[in-house]
Amino acid sequence: MKTQVAIIGAGPSGLLLSQLLHRRGIDSVVLERKTKDYVLGRIRAGVLERGLVALMEEAGCADRMHAEGHVHDGTMVSFGDTMFRVDFAGLTGTPVIVYGQTELTRDLYAAREKAGGKIEYQVEDVTIHGADTDAPAVSYTVDGAARRIECDFVAGCDGFHGVSRKTIPETVRREYEKVYPFGWLGVLSETPPVHHELIYANSPRGFALCSMRNENLSRYYIQCPLTDAPGDWSDDDFWAELKRRIPADMADKLVTGPSIEKSIAPLRSFVTEPMRWGRLFLCGDAAHIVPPTGAKGLNTAASDIHYLYNGLRAFYEDGSAQGIDSYSEKALKRIWKAERFSWWFSSLLHRYPEQTAFDLKMQIAELEFLRDNSAAQQAMAENYVGLPY
């Protein structure tokens, strides 16, 4: 089989790249280790930056997002019983859209299937060949049968545990990592959200987040030890702890109910450099991971797709290699800024085992400064809605 771009991974970043390329007449094949149902069963955050919204529009996949997504002009931040609002729209002229990653991925699948896009599922033994040459290829097996794709470029959208990053020799790549000493216990419930905007809460008992999927589906998180397991927390225990961590007036309004999904996510920051080796390009979790604080995971993947798509488009349409040659440098500059924001926001809201009394006082002083200083709120708002590409 031959194609122009072989894409490894049929999550949102791989599908978005494939759809954008298709709209410019550039052929691609997408390889996925799991099934479509498995990919759609993954629960992820759904706060979309302005850049990702624009990419979905360019991909022709934005109709349902605009019809069903929730436009958020700001967010709430609390510490103790104090709560204040950061006005994204007022400070930047731009909101964010809350739209579940599962739904966004479903829209992209629908578009690729309607266009007859080539997606192969349950592929195994994926190996990238000749990435440092002008004629790369990808071999794999499906149901025990060996297959091979000859291509011009390979896009590694296969996540942290995929083969793409590991294809780059250890002598070439350098990895940076920070592991946080806690996780997030998340609960999904068929209950109305406690507030029409997200609430990020700092409390003496640890961080909490109140978010939503729609008017009748809420997503809540609390900071917990990494040694905990979801089964250690009953629904009653979770709701009681959440109420202790959010302002009293919000706790009084909280509607509780049975959890329909419960999981614990560890927090870490990770970046690998470079994000390009020859004709292999890393995108999304294959190259970097951010803590979920500030909802940058999907959005950083989208910024990678922006740079790669435009580089490939210029290569095929104009014969210019400038975009693909500068891909890693451009992508990493924006990734490190997103890493900084997620690190700062996480440091502002969580309780750390090593924190001293002085550290806690500084944390509150930082929160009060953010509450009272318009310049600080402007900086937060610009990062939250997404820095320009």
Q: What are 74-105's pLDDT values in tens digits? A: 999 999 999 999 999 999 999 999 998 999 99
Average pLDDT of 232-255? 97
Angle 12-23/50-58 helices, nearest 10 degrees? 50
Q: Which two tokens stand for residue 307?
A: 């740079």
**Cis peptide bond prior to 169, omega within 30° of 0:** no
Q: How many Cα atoms are found within 13 Å in the side-chain-facing hemisphere of 149?
A: 28
The question of whether 389 is a catalytic residue gets the answer no
Total count of residues recorded for the chain = 389
Which of the residues 12, 22, 70, 72 is marked catalytic?
Answer: 72
333 is catalytic: no
- For residues 49-54, give the mean pLDDT: 97
The pTM of this model reads 0.95
pLDDT band at residue 199 under the 50/70/90 scheme:
very high
Q: Over the stretch 115-157, which tens digit does the pLDDT of each residue have?
A: 999 999 999 999 999 999 999 999 999 999 999 999 999 999 9
Q: Which residue type, as a one-letter code, is found at position 72?
A: H
CA distance 223 to 24: 44
**Distance between CA 303 and CA 41 in Å, rounded?**
24
Judged against a pLDDT cut of 80, whether residue 45 lies above it is answered with no
Name the token pair of 288: 């970097």
Q: Which amino acid type is present at position 291? A: P
- pLDDT of 213 reads 83
pLDDT number for residue 215: 87
Amino acid 46: pLDDT: 84
Band (43; pLDDT cuts 50, 70, 90): low
72 is catalytic: yes
**Run of H or E including 312:** helix 297-318
- Nearest CA to 256 out of 234, 230, 233, 235 is that of 235
**Distance in angstroms (rounded) separating the CA atoms of residues 8 and 6:** 7
What's the rounded Cα separation, in Å, for the pair 44 and 12? 11
Q: Give the Cα separation of 329 and 147 in Å (integer).
A: 33
Distances (CA, A) of 387 to 132, 153, 181, 247: 32, 28, 28, 30
- Residue ranges and CATH numbers for the domains of the chain are 5-72+98-177+268-345 (3.50.50.60), 179-267+351-385 (3.30.9.10)
pLDDT confidence of residue 64 = 97
Q: What is the mean pLDDT of the chain?
A: 96
Q: Which of 22, 70, 296, 330 is catalytic?
A: 296
Q: What is the DSSP string of 286-298?
A: GTEE--TTTT-HH
Helix then strand then coil, % of the chain, to nearest 5: 40, 30, 30
* Contact of 315 with 323, CB cutoff 8 Å: yes
Q: What are residue 237's phi and psi, to 5 degrees?
A: -65, -40
Active site residue 200: yes
Q: Measure CA 243 to chain center.
A: 27
> What share of the chain in percent tops pLDDT 70?
99
Q: Which of 180, 200, 220, 316 is catalytic?
A: 200
Confidence of residue 269 (pLDDT cuts 50, 70, 90): very high
DSSP code of 255?
A: -
Instruction: Point out which residues pair with 76 in neighbouring strands.
Output: 85, 199
